[in-house]
Structure 1
């Protein structure tokens, strides 16, 4: 992951650093409330208590600020993925427990942060930096859960366990992302069906990993 300094002029004084941190936090808070294109720099400055001039002293505009915010936000997401993977490793035993735990763990992290992640994913196709950082973060975070599934490799009956695990993670993520509206096509599903989705995904993935194709 790039550092925030890759997209902003790093503040050198303590007060300036604190002001910039408030700008980042205000932007994240606003992204949890509304879509990226509905937020203005003036609103961010008002929320953070920082002048517009100070903001432009750090970044050239709203798009550059979003890149900075993404770096900081994905760093935190990475820490949460690590914590969740460690929790699952300690509490779940065997494929029958690990699979639903991975499905629920990924789902919880995506759902809690969906509104902010949606801003990055919708901006990604037109912003190479946003797209690259998002892909790298997803690969790194999913790898933490993939290792949990690999640890149960002796139980997997699919003739190609590695491919089966990769396909399973792709299915889990794509389905949850579509339900949460993280792409430009999907939409937020009914809240009441979220737990049913997690249960069904867990069952399908477990069945797939235990399935022996007749070929």
Structure 2
């Protein structure tokens, strides 16, 4: 994953670094409220308590700023995935426990970050840097959960376990992302059904992994 300095000029002094950190945090706060396209640089500076000149001293404009913010958000999400993977490895035993834990952890990490991720996903259609960083971050983090399921390989009866796990995880992620509205403005219109969705996805994944498909 690229460093923030791949998209922003590195501050040379402590005060400048603190100002840029406030800009990044202020942008994240605003992204929790509405889409990046609806946010102006003036609002970001006002929220951050930083002058417009200080912002332009670090980035050329909104596109660069969003890329730098994405780096910070993905770094924090990596920490969340690491912590959850370690917790599941320590607490869960067997497919019956690991799969629901993985489904819930993946979904809740996405849910916690949904309002911010939505802007990245919408912008990824036209910004190659945003798209590439988001894809790499998702692949790297999902691999940690996939490894937990693969460790229960002796219980999997599907003749192609790797394919079954990867396909199942892809469908779980796509379903959770759609439910949370990560590919559109809004989302969480059926927030009360979230836990039910997690249960259903867990049941479907478990059934798929222990399913022996007919020979074709």
Question: In which range does the TM-score fall when normalised by the shorter chain?
Answer: over 0.9
Which structure 1 residue ranges, 5 or more long, are not aligned? none
Maintained 8 Å contact 2:35/2:185: no
**What is the match of residue 66 of structure 2?**
66
The structural deviation recorded for 1:184 is 3.7
Instruction: Look up the match of 2:10.
Output: 10
Q: Are positions 1:47 and 2:25 aligned together?
A: no
Q: Take 1:120 and 1:92, find their aligned partners in 2: how far apart are those partners?
A: 32
Name 2:80's counterpart in structure 1: 80
TM-score by length of 1: 0.98
Give, in whole Å, the separation in 2 of the partners of 1:30 and 1:153. Answer: 43
Cα deviation code 1:44-64 (max 9, x no counterpart): 000111000010010000111
1:199 alignment counterpart: 199
Partner of 1:178: 178
Question: CA offsets, 1:127-186, max 9 Å, x none?
Answer: 010000000000000000000000001100000000000011001100000000011499
Runs of 4+ in 1 over 4 A off after TM superposition: none
Note if contact 1:178-1:186 (Cα within 8 Å) is conserved in structure 2: no
Kept after mapping to 1: 8 A contact 2:117/2:182: yes
The answer to whether the Cα contact below 8 Å between 1:4 and 1:72 also exists between their aligned partners in 2 is yes
CA RMSD of aligned residues (A): 1.1
Q: CA deviation at 1:38?
A: 1.1
Give the count of matched residue pairs.
215
Distance 1:171 1:157, change over 3 A: same
CA separation in 2, counterparts of 1:210 and 1:177? Answer: 25
